[in-house]
Chain A
Amino acid sequence: MKIILNIWRQKNPSSPGKLVRYVLPSVSEHMSFLEMLDVLNEDLMQKGDDPVTFEHDCREGICGSCGIMIDGVAHGPLPGTTVCQLHMRHFKDGDELVLEPWRAKAFPVLKDLMVDRSAFDRIIQAGGYISVNTGSAPDANAIPVPKPDAERAMDAAACIGCGACVAACPNASASLFTAAKVSHLGLLPQGQPERPQRVISMVNSMNAELFGSCTNIGECEAVCPKRIPIETIALMHRDYLKACWSFRPESTASQGAG
Chain B
Amino acid sequence: MRVARLYDSTVGKKAVMAATGVLLFGFVITHLLGNLQFYLGPEALNAYGRNLRHLGALLWAARLGLLAAVLLHISAAVQLWRLNKQARPSHYEKLTAAGSSYASRTMMWSGPILALFIGYHLYHLTLGAHLLHDADGFPLVYQNVVAGFSDPLASGLYIVAMSFLGMHLMHGIWSMFQSIGWNHPKYTPLIKRIAVLTAALIVAGNISIPVAVLLFHQ
Contact = CB atoms under 8 A, between A and B. Distances in A.
Interface of A: 6, 8, 19, 69, 71-74, 79, 98, 100, 103-106, 168, 170-173, 203-204, 206-207, 210-219, 221-223, 229-231, 233-241, 244-245, 247
B56 to A, nearest CB: 35
B92 A238 contact: no
B104 A217 contact: yes
Interface string B161-191: 0000000000100110111111111001000
B10 A213 contact: yes
Contact of B179 (A79, A172, A237, A247): A237
Contacts of B185: 229, 231
The 8 closest A-B pairs by CB, nearest first: A222-B99, A238-B181, A234-B183, A72-B96, A212-B87, A213-B10, A171-B84, A217-B100
A237 B177 CA distance: 10
Contact of A230 (B15, B94, B178, B184): B178
Interface in B179-210: 179-185, 188
B83 A212 contact: yes
6 contacts: A210-B86, A214-B10, A216-B175, A219-B100, A234-B182, A240-B12
A4 to B, nearest CB: 14
A169 B5 CA distance: 25
For chain B, which range describes its interface: under 10, 10 to 19, 20 to 34, or 35 or more residues?
A: 35 or more
Contact of B98 (A19, A168, A211, A234): A168
B100 to A, nearest CB: 4
B51 interface: no
Interface string B78-94: 00100110111111111
B90 A103 contact: yes
B14 interface: yes
Contact of A219 (B12, B89, B97): B97
Contact residues of B: prevailing secondary structure:
helix
Given A234-B181, A245-B2, A247-B2, A217 B88 contact: no
Nearest to B5: A244
B87 A171 contact: yes
B11 A219 contact: no
Contact of A218 (B10, B88, B96, B100): B100
Contacts of B91: 103
A204 B88 contact: no
Contacts of B11: 203, 214, 236-237, 240-241
Given A73-B98, A105-B87, A213-B80, A237 B93 contact: no
B86 A217 contact: no
B84 A170 contact: yes
A204 B86 contact: no
Nearest to A178: B11
A69 B107 CA distance: 25
